[in-house]
């Protein structure tokens, strides 16, 4: 922390620090890139009364930690036409996706557009899955935190032995820092068993985070258990009958247990989707310390079942929230997915009064945990002394903390006034000077 940097006191009618009680008429004191104090405005004003050069900023609405989008593909932002469709299942959607993907794209421009859309919705950190090298610098260029995960897709054992490791290392080297680079072995059905095992070892060797699509398709379990089902049939039609799981008739394990057998489930791994899981799968994920990024609006567009959010919450699984990409979702707003999860949890029977707080946690600190950013010098996801000053301001209607929390979580439509990283604004709404954000 730069002790000589000026102190800025950001005040708002509601402060939701996450991991600590909500505060009416709250404030955060920021010096340089760090939060130095969190509390009531009067308390912090008294504490810093004699600090020369203190700047004060008055906001309307609610300050929260910056949102964490724990699963998306920013490069597919220009494929929104696919996401505006409605599909009968994963296999049906994937055909439309593939037809759009092979058309010409400016992946760099598409990813940059996605990054700006995320920022305008209050997001400060992202798990971005990158398939094409041109999109690899989107987080870095936009000033976002998170992890750029290089996606490893459609590798079979023989080719992998010849050139796989070298190719992956070359692609990782093309991801600019910050933020961190990670690896995303795509899914159990798109990589040979030997390849997945080697990627898990490479992740451990390099000390990287790992992110995997898992239990998104209903037929993934059939694929890994017996090498049969609609997903297996589709891959055979694509000419991949020689995949080890298909050629060998599966391994007798469901997709989550199969990943565990390869060592892929670890605290440094988080999964995307996690829809088609039973109680044993969820217990295994808890035992391994694996977070799951839920993407309910994407699941609905594709025609999948909703994730079992009530069971995850009741059983104590570590949760995060993702939007997926615009190729399968209406927007890159994390709060819109939070609202969908709220409605699903209630419909699935979750009645505890802590639902709104737990879902805001999932969208902030839960996402930071999934990305390995909840602790240490780069800590984000909560507002407490020592964390990075990554926060968002939302134009909530009420000055009551409970009402403001429920508005954010249940409506998913609250406008973003400002998004800050490292204590500096990444984005300010045009009308910010009219509603708040006035230095005094």
CATH architecture entry for 67-370:
Alpha-Beta Barrel (3.20)
Percent of the chain exceeding pLDDT 90 equals 95
Percent of the chain exceeding pLDDT 70 equals 97
pTM: 0.96
Summarize the confidence of residues 244-249 as an average pLDDT.
97
- With contact defined as beta carbons under 8 Å apart, do 182 and 211 qualify? yes
- Look at residue 438 in the predicted model and tell me its pLDDT: 47
Residues 64-122 have pLDDT tens digits of: 999 999 999 999 999 999 999 999 998 899 999 999 999 999 999 999 999 999 999 99
- Look at residue 15 in the predicted model and tell me its pLDDT: 98
Instruction: Report DSSP letters for 238-292, one per residue.
Output: TT-TTSHHHHTT--S--HHHHHHHTT--STTEEEEE--S--HHHHHHHHHHT-EE
Q: Distance between the two ends of the chain, CA-based, in angstroms? A: 24
- Look at residue 4 in the predicted model and tell me its pLDDT: 72
> In 3D, which of 8, 1, 17 has the Cα closest to residue 391?
17
In the predicted model, is pLDDT for residue 435 greater than 90?
A: no
Residues 130-150 have pLDDT tens digits of: 999 999 999 999 999 999 999
Tokens (6 digits) for 54: 């203190």
- With contact defined as beta carbons under 8 Å apart, do 223 and 231 qualify? yes
Residues 15-38 have pLDDT tens digits of: 999 999 999 999 999 999 999 999
Tokens (6 digits) for 31: 């010096």
Rounded distance, CA 364 to CA 272, Å?
16
Summarize the confidence of residues 366-376 as an average pLDDT.
97
User: How many Cα atoms are found within 13 Å in the side-chain-facing hemisphere of 3?
Assistant: 0
pLDDT band at 430 (very low <50, low <70, confident <90, very high): confident
Buried b (16+ CB within 10 A) or exposed e, 90-111: bbbbbebbeebbeeebebbebb
- Look at residue 378 in the predicted model and tell me its pLDDT: 87
Angle at 278 between CA 321 and CA 237, to 5 degrees: 85
pLDDT band at 2 (very low <50, low <70, confident <90, very high): low
CA distances (Å), 404 to each of 52, 399, 409, in order? 33, 7, 9
| Mean pLDDT rounded to a whole number for the chain | 95
- Look at residue 439 in the predicted model and tell me its pLDDT: 44
pLDDT band at 3 (very low <50, low <70, confident <90, very high): low
180 in helix, strand or coil? strand
CA distances (Å), 302 to each of 16, 41, 90, 289, 293, in order? 33, 46, 6, 28, 17
Rounded distance, CA 147 to CA 138, Å?
11
CA distances (Å), 355 to each of 163, 336, 352, 401, 414, in order? 48, 15, 6, 15, 18
Which residues have CB under 8 Å from 114's CB, separation 6+? Answer: 72, 74, 75, 76, 77, 138, 325, 326, 332
In the predicted model, is pLDDT for residue 196 greater than 60?
A: yes
- With contact defined as beta carbons under 8 Å apart, do 257 and 285 qualify? no
Highest CATH level, class, for 7-66+381-439 = mainly beta
Angle at 167 between CA 163 and CA 169, to 5 degrees: 125
Cis peptide before 178 (omega within 30 of 0): yes
Residue-range domain boundaries for the chain: 7-66+381-439, 67-370
Report residue 298 CA to chain centroid gap. 13
């Amino acid at each position: 922390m730069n002790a000589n940097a000026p102190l800025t006191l950001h005040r708002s009618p509601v402060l939701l620090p996450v991991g600590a009680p909500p505060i009416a008429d709250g404030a955060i004191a920021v010096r340089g890139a760090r939060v130095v104090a969190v509390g009531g405005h009067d308390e912090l004003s008294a504490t810093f009364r004699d600090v020369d050069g203190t700047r004060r900023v008055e906001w309307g609405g609610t300050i929260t930690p910056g949102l964490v989008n724990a699963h998306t593909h920013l490069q597919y932002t220009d494929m929104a036409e696919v996401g505006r469709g409605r599909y009968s299942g994963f296999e049906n959607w994937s055909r439309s996706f593939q037809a759009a993907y092979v058309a010409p794209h400016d992946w760099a421009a598409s990813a940059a557009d996605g990054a700006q859309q995320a920022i305008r919705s209050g997001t400060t950190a992202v798990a971005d899955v990158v398939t094409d090298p041109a999109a690899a610098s989107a987080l870095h260029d936009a000033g976002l935190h998170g992890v750029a995960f290089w996606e490893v897709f459609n590798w079979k054992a023989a080719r992998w032995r010849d050139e796989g490791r070298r190719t992956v290392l070359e692609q990782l080297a093309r991801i600019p820092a910050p933020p961190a680079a990670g690896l995303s072995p795509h899914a159990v059905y798109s990589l040979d068993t030997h390849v997945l095992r080697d990627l898990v070892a490479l992740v451990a060797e390099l000390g990287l985070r790992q992110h995997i699509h898992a239990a998104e398709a209903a037929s993934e379990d059939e694929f890994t258990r017996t090498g049969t089902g609609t997903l297996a049939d589709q891959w055979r039609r694509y000419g991949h009958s020689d995949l080890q799981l298909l050629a060998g008739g599966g391994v007798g394990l469901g997709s989550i247990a199969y990943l565990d057998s390869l060592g892929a489930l670890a605290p440094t791994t988080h999964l995307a989707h996690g829809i088609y899981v039973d109680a044993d799968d969820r217990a295994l994920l808890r035992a391994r310390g694996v977070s799951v990024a839920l993407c309910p609006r994407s699941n609905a567009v594709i025609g999948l079942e909703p994730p079992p959010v009530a069971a995850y919450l009741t059983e104590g699984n570590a949760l995060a929230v993702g939007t997926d990409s615009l190729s399968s979702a209406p927007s890159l707003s994390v709060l819109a997915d939070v609202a969908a999860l709220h409605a699903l949890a209630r419909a699935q029977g979750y009645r505890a009064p802590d639902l709104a707080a737990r879902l805001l946690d999932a969208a902030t600190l839960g996402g930071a945990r999934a990305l390995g950013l909840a602790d240490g010098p780069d800590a984000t996801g909560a507002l407490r002394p020592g964390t990075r000053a990554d926060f968002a301001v939302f134009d909530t209607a009420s000055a009551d903390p409970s009402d403001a929390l429920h508005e954010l979580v249940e409506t998913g439509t609250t406008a973003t006034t400002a998004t800050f990283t490292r204590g500096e604004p990444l984005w300010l709404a045009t009308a910010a000077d009219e509603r708040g954000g006035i230095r005094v």
